[in-house]
Amino acid sequence: MRRVESFGDEAKGAAGKADPAASRENADSSDLSSLLLFERLLSELSATFVNLPPDQVDTEIQRWIGRIGAFLEMDIGTVAQPSENLNNVRFTHRWAAESFRFPDNGPLARDFPWMSRQLAGGRIVFVADVRDLPEEAAADRAHFISLGILSTISIPLSVGGTAVGVLSFNSRSPAENWPAIYLDRYKLLGDIFANALMRKRSDKLLQNAFEEIKGLKELVEAENLYLRRQVQCFQHHEGIIGESSAVRQVLRQVEQVAAVDSTVLIQGETGTGKELIADAIHKLSQRRERAMVKVNCAAIPQTLMESELFGHERGAFTGASSRELGRFETAHRGTILLDEVGELPVQLQSKLLRVLQDGTFERLGSSKTVRVDVRVIASTNRDLKKAVREGSFRPDLYYRLNVFTITAPPLRERKEDIPALIWWFTGMYAKKTGKQIETIPRQAMDAYQHYDWPGNVRELMNAVERSVIVTRGRVLDAYIPEDTSLAEGEEAVLSEVERTHILKVLQKTRWRVRGQEGAAQLLGIKPTTLESRMQKLGIHRPGQGERQ
């Protein structure tokens, strides 16, 4: 860098000879004048960056590099900042008084090893003539000359010990000298640029953090929405456990019909969860704010059925000491479940048909018409078509009930759901009994799935409850009803099923009980437990006991 005297040339204008003292005085005066101008420039620079919005920092740095470079009579100005991997530098701001080939981004220590060590130590590098660099800076000298640079000043930029970058001004000509008085001002110049860059970097990090938080918030909201939907779906279908195609089909039908007020007929064998399906329909409907009234038509004596459904007036029959509302009035603006509707007496079927058609009826012992707004869900384990043919069920009532039919699948048609159901019931009853059951033996699970469950989910639930009751440790002591799904006439019990399964596994492992890939590991039980079961079931290795 050349001596900064661009604004003090009048101080040099003495014509003729001047004595040395006068020359020194003129030089000192020129330095002082230039220094004052430089300080004024730094003051303006500092004022510019105070409260400057981060998005304007780059533009102002670019502008001020040019102003300062011109003031210092330099040809090139740059700001280099560390790249993401901190090994390379990238030139983020560049200024040149005229066309110039700037250095490429790359490792500073490779291209300028000597200078990079000086800057790393926090020292400002003044080079009046790069050709005078010491031998240890030969690589730096060669690279400067290849770029056409003969003098340079490089200022390390750091804030609180954190390196922010390097501010450099370079010239194609050697400098005349370096006024030491400028050293503190260069440090101040570096501090101003460093703080501006750090504030911009902090703002960027803050913005990135905000964006990340925003993204995480959106993700959490999306996950919460998903979980809410899942929880809502679970609550709507509470107790309907399973992922089989049969269960999915039922749930699709539930969701289709829930939003409308159409009458629903749920058919299925005993224990298939017809009441749970009705609950799911009600909880998804617009009537969910009201409780669903349930009537078990098979459990109410026929003599009391009319009173239960439609109510009675005082004195309507012996013992009727007051007026009582029936289930239909109780269910007004809600839902009523007529469970086992096939058991409804024929003489009441016409009255039910009237309610379904126009929502009106009379209480027992009254001629006053009562109007109600009730959604009817009926369920049955009987073949209503057959009942119609036999004359025990009115065809017009059947067609009125059979608007939308859902068939609850028997458990034997969705055996893939049995493991999930077993774990669900095990957890439920373990909690009730204060037990901690962590394992269900594999052979027990296989036996559960092998059984046909004529009582369906209700029978399975009762079997699991009994198993939990008798379990002492953390492994479920599974109880399974007698298997009725084997060959005709054969009455196999659980012990035979278990014996057959253990034999198959032992043969597969070549009678290896213990260790990796042993029968005990494949069965999911302890070797001592397996040996005990083998002894109890009379299982012996061929040649060591009874013939297998």
Mean local confidence (pLDDT), 516-525: 79
Separation between Cα atoms, residue 296 and residue 291, nearest integer Å:
16
Residue 182: pLDDT band (50, 70, 90) is confident
Q: Does this model's pTM top 0.85?
A: no
Separation between Cα atoms, residue 252 and residue 236, nearest integer Å:
12
Separation between Cα atoms, residue 533 and residue 541, nearest integer Å:
14
Average pLDDT, the chain: 81
The answer on pLDDT for 187 being more than 70 is: yes
Half-sphere exposure of 451 (CA within 13 A, CB side): 28
Pick the most confident of 30-44, 195-209, 303-317.
Answer: 303-317
Separation between Cα atoms, residue 238 and residue 390, nearest integer Å:
37
The DSSP output letter for 180 is G
**CB of 80 within 8 A of CB of 89?**
yes
Domains of the chain: 9-204 (3.30.450.40), 245-409 (3.40.50.300), 413-537 (1.10.8.60)
Separation between Cα atoms, residue 345 and residue 342, nearest integer Å:
8
**Surface-to-core class of residue 20, CB atoms within 10 Å of its CB (0-12 exposed, 13-18 middle, 19+ buried):** exposed
**CB of 149 within 8 A of CB of 170?**
yes
Closest-CA residue to 296 (of 254, 266, 338): 338
Q: Token digits for 248?
A: 């999915």
In the prediction, which pLDDT does 12 show?
Answer: 31
- Please, what is the angle between helix 346-358 and helix 302-310, to 10°? 10
The answer on pLDDT for 1 being more than 70 is: no
Q: Residue by residue, what is the 3-state secondary structure of 188-200?
A: HHHHHHHHHHHHH
The answer on pLDDT for 14 being more than 70 is: no
Mean local confidence (pLDDT), 281-306: 89
Of 46-60, 426-440, 458-472, which range is least confident?
46-60
Separation between Cα atoms, residue 514 and residue 516, nearest integer Å:
7
In the prediction, which pLDDT does 15 show?
Answer: 32
**CB of 404 within 8 A of CB of 262?**
yes
The number of residues in the chain equals 548
According to DSSP, the residues that pair with 165 across neighbouring strands are 157
Mean local confidence (pLDDT), 323-333: 89
The answer on pLDDT for 102 being more than 80 is: no
What are the pLDDT digits (tens) for 218-256?
A: 655 554 444 444 444 444 455 688 888 999 999 999 999
Closest-CA residue to 208 (of 427, 54, 3, 38): 54
